[in-house]
Amino acid sequence: MSTGATIALLGQPNSGKSTLFNALTGLRQHVGNWPGKTVEKKEGSFSYGGKEYRVADLPGSYSLSANSDEEVITRDFIASGEADVVCILADSSQLQRSLFMLADYAGINVPCFLLLNMADVAEDQGKKIDAKAIEEKLGIPVVPFSATDIKSYDSFYKTLEKALSKNSKINVSDLATQYESIKGYQDICELIPENAIEGYSPMWLAVKVLEKDEVVIAKLKNTLDAYTFSRIEEAAVNTSGAVATGGCKFRWIDELLGETASAKDNTVKLSGLDRIYINKFWGKAAVILTVLLGLIASFIPALPLMGVGEAVLALKAPVMNGLSSIGCPEFIILIIGDVIIQSFSYIFKMLGFVFGVTLVFGLLEEVGVMARISYVFDNTMGKLGLQGKSVMPFLVSFGCTMGGAAGARVIDNWGQKVLTIALAWAVPCGAAWATIPMLAAIFFGPGAVGVIVAILLTMLVHMWITAKVFGGQLVKKEDRYGMIMELPPYHKPKWGALFRYVLGRTKETFVRVTKVILLVCGIFWLLSYSPSGNGGILYSIGVAIEPVTKFFGLPWQLFLSYIASAVGKEGAVGVISALYSGGSYGTAFTQAMSGGADTSNLSSLLLANVTKPEALAFIFAMTFNMPCVVALAATFQETHSAKWTARIVIYYTVVSLILAFIAYHIGMLIW
């Protein structure tokens, strides 16, 4: 197959670039109905007409300015000549605004064509767009398109070939006339020679100089002689910057759209949903309720996979019996049964949850609820140094911290992303919520409600303090930008694409998680294994350091389950019950991870051996400990920083022990 062109997908946020990319390449970029999902360039390929094309999905940005690294990377990628053709996407339902990218692109010398995406949405809104007229004025191919409609892709391929064969470039003469009205523009433009910077026209560069684009100015300084550059600087003094050039761009767009521009009519109807979510009284409550219902609903699609987990577990006894009947060594049987089968049972149950949560939250995203959630929480999150978007990872973390950490990917500022993940760790996950009420009920009866309230309050204080502790380093004052974001119109969900995406995500998680869990469970099992069934390295260590752990209110059995809870909160209770019943706790640990532990006589065992203050200390220590190894892996993956991941782990370990200490001593005062 011969190599075809490389295509770059360019457009404002939420214009449908990743939807198009996924459909072309079969890959699975994050798609959803709110601006700013794609944060890194991603490449893929597809073949058409016997040629292999490469295509790059670029992060959406409102313009090609130098305000963020992504924008600079995007425009350099395009102008460097790596892309042979640029596919510019605009959202037909918000055409005027979303054509700004086209106006900002005009003047870059790479051939391009224009996709008027979301034609279906515009049609539903009764907007009529005359693509032919726009094409004539622009001088590049223009097509109405729907990235979600597979049948319409023929027009994409045809237009692509047309743009390539014609080498089509935007006719910029009208735009240049607009710019000429700006003071200083003409002087600067004349001072910049053709090809001063490869790929950009003098018009484009002059406009960027007026916009005080530091990257362009620095490059010009390097390439031009000092005299010319100083004259450019002179001409740029006291000019009116992005406001003037932006005005020109929009006037050009208005002319381009002519009669088709429908923006004259500025009336808006808030949809019923928006009247609820955006309401100042019940907006927050409605959002929280939606998310809680979402979390509950996510158990329904989770059930089948959880069932698979149970089925895997049911295999354990027959497999182990079978192996021992054929004379397999005890050690191997235990590894297969207690480590491998148990781990897979646990993995499948967790995957069920990941599947459910991704599906439900993916749906909320696709429809457009996510954007409203960010809006409602922007102020609250701002107080923590975060953006409205950060609230989503927090909410997801009530189910699964790993999901929360992965969800933080959408936060475009690295420092805010790390801080969001660090705070999300303080949110007790689903497994912790399964454990807390049970333990609390055993020890405190109806007082369990009080414990749960105390946990929630501690969580809020914890997050607030953690934001102060890490915030200063992670989020600089000048990076704390407030929200400037579009609220996209609601979309009907596209079930096929959604399921494909969710299944893909689940598969990726499966591969990643399996490695981590097998490794960690294996190590833990080895450490607690001893041929006699009692002892093992963990036991020796536990007993040896008991004088220290007692200080935090944790006898060695509770301390070991606290350690186990760092691997997975599911394990904590099982380990306790095994340790106090004096059984082989190496086995108990892995059993407990998959919920197979025998906890029937747990309450009498615990009440006989553990005091109330100790129980309280343990509940706090376990809840606010590192969430689990999978969350740890996800945190490293999203932050790309071993240093920060390690800091967060150490911080949480220390804080959870301090909380245990405080809880223990308060408990001593009460009881």
Partner 1 sequence: MSLSEVKENREALVSEVKGDTRFMSRITSIGLTPGCRIRVVKNDKNRPMLVYSRDTMIALNRKECKGITVEEVTA
User: Which parts of this chain interact with ligand GTP (CB under 6 A)?
Assistant: 11, 13-19, 31-33, 35-38, 60, 117-118, 120-121, 146-148, 366, 491, 494
H/E run at residue 134: helix 131-138
Residues 488 to 547 in contact with partner 1, rule: CB under 8 A? 488-489
| Sheet of 2-11, strands arranged across | 42-48, 51-57, 2-11, 85-91, 112-117, 142-144
394 binds, options partner 1, ligand GTP, Mg ion, none, Cβ within 5 to 8 A by partner type: none
> Rounded to an integer, what distance in angstroms lies between the CA atom of residue 162 and that of residue 157?
9
What is the maximal distance between C-alpha atoms in the chain? Answer: 91
Specify the residue for token string 């021992």: 324
Q: What whole-number distance in Å separates Cα of residue 430 and Cα of residue 436?
A: 10
569 binds, among ligand GTP, partner 1, Mg ion, none (CB under 5 to 8 A by kind): none
Q: Is 94 in the site for partner 1 (CB under 8 A)?
A: yes
With CB cut-offs between 5 and 8 Å by kind, which of partner 1, Mg ion, ligand GTP, none does residue 100 bind?
partner 1
What is the nearest approach in angstroms of Mg ion to the Cβ of residue 42?
9
Backbone angles phi, psi at 45, to 5 degrees: -145, 160
Of the pair 215, 442, the CB lying nearest partner 1 is at 215
Residue 284 exposed, middle or buried by CB count within 10 Å (0-12, 13-18, 19+): middle
Q: Which amino acid is located at 388 in the chain?
A: G
Residue 19 in contact with partner 1, rule: CB under 8 A:
no
Spatial contact of 348 and 306, defined as CB atoms under 8 Å apart: yes
Q: Which of 405, 406, 443, 445 is nearest to 421 (CA)?
A: 405
Q: Please say which residue, 11 or 595, places its beta carbon nearer to ligand GTP.
A: 11
Using alpha carbons, select from 588, 579, 573, 602 the residue that is nearest to residue 524.
Answer: 588
**35-64 footprint of Mg ion as x/- string (CB under 5 A):** --xx--------------------------
Q: In the bound complex, which residue of the shown chain has the CB atom lying closest to ligand GTP?
A: 60
Q: Decide if residue 270 touches partner 1 (CB under 8 A).
A: yes
Comparison of 326 and 484: residue with beta carbon closer to partner 1: 484
Q: Across the strands, what pairs with 48?
A: 51
Look at residue 5 and give the partner it binds from Mg ion, partner 1, ligand GTP, none, a contact being a CB closer than 5 to 8 Å depending on partner kind: none
| The one segment of 59-67, 393-401, 456-464, 589-597 that binds partner 1 by CB under 8 A | 59-67
**Could you tell me which stretch among 240-248, 538-546, 564-572, 616-624 binds partner 1 (CB under 8 A)?**
240-248
| Distance from C-alpha of 38 to C-alpha of 342, rounded to nearest angstrom | 37
d(CA 391, CA 288): 10
| Closest CB to partner 1 among residues 387, 420 | 387
233 binds partner 1 (CB under 8 A): no
| Distance (Å, whole) CA 56 – CA 77 | 10
**Site for Mg ion contains 12 (CB under 5 A):** no
Binding of partner 1 by 74 (CB under 8 A): no
**Counting contacts by CB under 8 A, is residue 185 touching partner 1?**
no
Contacted by 333, from Mg ion, ligand GTP, partner 1, none: CB < 5 to 8 Å by type: none
Residues in contact with 164: Cβ distance below 8 Å, sequence separation at least 6, in sequence order? 5, 84, 85, 111
Ramachandran quadrant class, 361 (left: phi over 0; alpha: psi -120 to 50; beta: rest): alpha
Q: How far is the CB of 65 from partner 1 (least distance, A)?
A: 4
Residue 18 in the binding site for Mg ion (CB under 5 A): yes
Q: Provide the binding-site residues for Mg ion, judged by CB under 5 A.
A: 17-18, 37-38
Q: Provide the binding-site residues for partner 1, judged by CB under 8 A.
A: 12, 62-63, 65, 67, 93-97, 100, 104, 211-212, 241-243, 245-247, 250, 262-263, 266-268, 270, 278, 280, 283, 374-376, 378-379, 382, 388, 481-489
